[in-house]
Amino acid sequence: MNHQCHWTEIENIFMPREATIVRTATPTPMEKHFTLKMADGKPMTFEPGQIVEASLFGYGEIPLGFASSPTRENTFDLVVRTVGRVSSAVNKLEKGQSIFIRGPLGKGFDLNKLRGKDVLIVAGGIGLCPTRSLIQYIMDRRTEFKRFVLFYGTRDPKQQLFLEDLVAWRASKDVEYFETVDKGDPSWKGNVGVITTLFPKVQITPETRVVICGPPVMFRFVIRELDKLGIKRENIFVDLERRMKCAVGKCGHCQINDKYVCVDGPVFAFSDIQGLEEAI
């Protein structure tokens, strides 16, 4: 029997593929928004909530959540915050240059648990980036979901991302959009306060499915509000994009007890991780 392995037919999760930058934007001094297209012409097939490893030879790689929906064909979006050596190098790239992509990786949102339900997304700060993938998916396939509510909070107005999206969501009848900032400025006319101050502004039913992504300090206060509303913890989904390195469960960098954020997540039902103290 011939046991020869045809390596060319096997997807190698350790092998990055070249992606060409087709558009860039700089929404804040810290973040850069990239729209990319795979250089080999093959589409990037992924699910909302999954991640990729983005790399530059000679610098290293960083894990990033998709910031666009797979319903937006041929291209995909990533947002990179300048925090270290790799991200600083990536954020110097411009249209026409290349970055290298490994993925998609991890487990995204279980869309079957959201379809036909009311959905609330609570996004804080850069947490809007990976949840934008799900937001766009719901907006593009709006009839598959019931009521759609979106909360977005930032430290101040200058930290807001995807400004064109925000304008569209404020005017849209497909989403009930609420936003807040921790501290306003003279131009800000909206709500001032932490993201939980948005809950009294809208009626959320106990059967709502909830997605949360943002800084760890935000999670416990949002969960407290959801408990008050009677939302079951198995119907709360959290995106834990933190401490990942290899993204394939080999290095142990993101391990929390028996969970690996990169392969068991980064999306988890809160009921599955509520006992893990380091999870949020």
- Whether the predicted pLDDT of 7 surpasses 60: no
The average pLDDT across 96-104 equals 95
Residue 85 binned pLDDT confidence (cut-offs 50, 70, 90): very high
Percent of the chain with pLDDT over 90: 72
Cα Rg of the chain (Å, integer): 19
Query: What pLDDT score does 87 carry?
Result: 94
The two tokens of residue 190 are: 């909206």
Task: Give me the pLDDT at residue 14, please.
Answer: 78
Q: How confident is the model at residue 58 (pLDDT cuts 50, 70, 90)?
A: very high
Q: What is the pLDDT of residue 208?
A: 98
Q: Give DSSP secondary structure letters for 181-243.
A: ESS--TT--SEES-GGGGGGGS---TT-EEEEES-HHHHHHHHHHHHHTT--GGGEEEE---S
> Given pLDDT bands bounded at 50, 70 and 90, which one contains residue 3?
very low
Domains of the chain: 7-105 (2.40.30.10), 111-273 (3.40.50.80)
pLDDT tens-digit map of 191-248: 999 999 999 999 999 999 999 999 888 999 999 999 999 999 999 998 876 565 554 5
What is the C-alpha separation between 239 and 73, in angstroms, rounded? 24
Q: What is the pLDDT of residues 113-153, one digit of tens each?
A: 999 999 999 999 999 999 999 999 999 999 999 999 999 99
C-alpha 136/C-alpha 121 separation (Å) is: 12
Q: Say what the pTM is.
A: 0.89
**What is the per-residue pLDDT for 106?**
87
* Stronger pLDDT, 263 or 223, i.e. the higher one: 223
Give the pLDDT band (50/70/90) at residue 8: very low
User: pLDDT tier at 1 (50, 70, 90 boundaries)?
Assistant: very low
